[in-house]
Amino acid sequence: MAKQQVRIGMIGYKFMGKAHSHAYRDLPFYFNTQVEPVMQAIVGRDEAGVKAAADRMGWHSYETDWRRLIERDDIDLIDIGVTNHLHAEIAIAAAEAGKHVICEKPLAMNVEEAGRMLEAVNKAGVVHMVCHNYRFVPAIRFAKQLIDSGKLGKIYHFRSRYLQDWIMDPQFPLVWRLRKEVCGSGTHGDLMAHSIDLARYLVGEMSEVVGMMDTFIKRRPLGEMSGGLHAEVSGEQIGEVDVDDAVAFMSRFKNGAFGVFEATRFGKGNRNGNSFEINGSKGSVRWNMENMNQLQLYVEDDEKGEQGFRNISCTEDIHPYAGAYWPAGHIIGYEHTFINIVHELMNGIAENKSPSPNFTDGYRNQVILDAVENSAKSKSWITLPKF
């Protein structure tokens, strides 16, 4: 029997557009999903650019206005890979049109928007996800299994660092990621949102936060992103940076654990240094994106004299998702995290369930992002709502 088709309409075709297109295209190579993804249409405002992107990445058609995509009755799923200020408007319109939605992170510009988005998908009864792709790294999935099995014992500490360095040159232009009206917040929503998602996934909900944030370079020449994390200056004009360059916060988890978080785009030498360490009463794990297939594990059950962190290559069939790819030791990369997430999304659509992370996770993440920002302004601890 032919599989049910899920006809995808994707908006945005640069960095995340490329990652998502690749994921839909490669998905059937590795996973036997319950439904068949169809790369139906892609949206971009520049006709020549979007047509070229559609041809190169394998989309069947294109549109130059996202509203037209929502109106089309041959689209079942809307994939939002555009700048943050459009997430809410597009996601709500998609839900109201009865279409499933996957949205890039951060879910929204603020809590109010995230709340409206959550309400819209719940009201429409569509399947929804937010693209926190790091949850889909096999080593992180395996760390979650270890924690849930009690192997690490009671969790005392979650410590994360997310360090990049691509805007350190003062001549790096004022792109959308540095303009509050387009991105909502800077490093905070871009990088810290991922760390918050991993903390909630691995350790649980938080009860209170206290934070600090700052902008080191306050004026920059105007310019545009040109793909990936590259950008071009567009003229002589200078503008004000109104978002954070760096942010740090502490939290208390509901289970009593301490959280310590740092995210910056001024971590010289770190291109995508996303890492964390978790310490429990019986063991610890460490993970670092720049060596993403490995999980460092310490367990106190090891013989005295033989104790120490061991490196596990999370590429064995027993490790989550790893068996779908290559024989053990034949590593996977960044792009596979997106294949894993769209695999969950397709199965979610087949079963009419929203896999995590979904808009509820995106909303709760936004509550924490906003609380940290408010705490930095008021220089005080903020109690989080109980979820």
Which residue, among 87, 44, 38, has the nearest Cα to 63 in the 3D structure?
Answer: 44
> Can you tell me the distance from the alpha carbon of 84 to that of 11, in angstroms, rounded to the nearest whole number?
12
Question: Least distance (Å) from ligand NAD to the CB of residue 206?
Answer: 21
Instruction: For ligand NAD, give the closer residue by CB, 189 or 320.
Output: 189
Considering the complex, what minimum distance in angstroms separates the CB of residue 1 from ligand NAD?
34
Could you tell me the smallest distance in angstroms from the CB atom of residue 181 to ligand NAD?
A: 13
Least distance between ligand NAD and beta carbon 323 (Å): 24
Residue carrying structure tokens 């949850």: 135
| Closer by beta carbon to ligand NAD, 113 or else 210 | 113
Beta bridge partners of residue 264, listed in sequence order: 163, 246
Q: Which is nearer to ligand NAD, 155 or 361 (CB)?
A: 361
Give the tokens for residue 374: 């408010």
CB of 338 to ligand NAD, least distance (A): 8
User: How far, in Å, CA of 67 to CA of 155, rounded?
Assistant: 46
The dihedral over CA atoms of 190, 193, 194, 198, expressed in degrees to the nearest 10, equals: 170
Nearest approach, Cβ of residue 236 and ligand NAD (Å): 23
Q: How far is the CB of 41 from ligand NAD (least distance, A)?
A: 12
Asked if 116 and 125 count as a contact pair (C-beta separation under 8 A), the reply is no
Nearest to 106 by CA among 84, 124, 82, 125: 84
Residue 366 C-beta: closest distance to ligand NAD, Å = 13
Q: Name the residue nearer to ligand NAD (CB basis): 104 or 361.
A: 104
Instruction: Answer whether the bond into residue 357 is a cis peptide, omega within 30°.
Output: yes
Which residue, 193 or 367, has its beta carbon nearer to ligand NAD? 193
Task: For ligand NAD, give the closer residue by CB, 79 or 298.
Answer: 79
**Which positions lie near ligand NAD, rule CB under 6 A?**
11-17, 43-45, 66, 81-84, 86, 104-105, 131, 133, 190, 225
Which class for 69: exposed (0-12), middle (13-18), buried (19 or more C-beta within 10 A)? buried
User: Least Å distance between CB 65 and ligand NAD?
Assistant: 7
Closest to ligand NAD by CB, 12 or 259: 12
Following DSSP, what letter does each residue of 96-145 receive, concatenated?
Answer: HTT-EEEEPSSS-SSHHHHHHHHHHHHHHT--EEE--GGGG-HHHHHHHH
Cα angle, residue 64 at apex, residues 63 and 68 outer, rounded to 5°: 60
Contacts of 184 (CB under 8 A, 6+ apart): 84, 85, 106, 108, 109, 110, 243
**Residue 188 carries which DSSP code?**
I
> Encoding tokens for residue 131?
């693209």
CA angle (14, 18, 24) in 5-degree steps:
145
Nearer CB in complex with ligand NAD: 34/291: 291
> Angle 87-96/111-124 helices, nearest 10 degrees?
10
The residue (of 53 and 372) whose beta carbon lies closer to ligand NAD is 53
CB of 239 to ligand NAD, least distance (A): 17
Closest CA to 145 of 319, 289, 274, 288: 319
Q: Which residue number, 87 or 286, has a Cβ lying nearer to ligand NAD?
A: 87
Residue with tokens 């996977």: 332
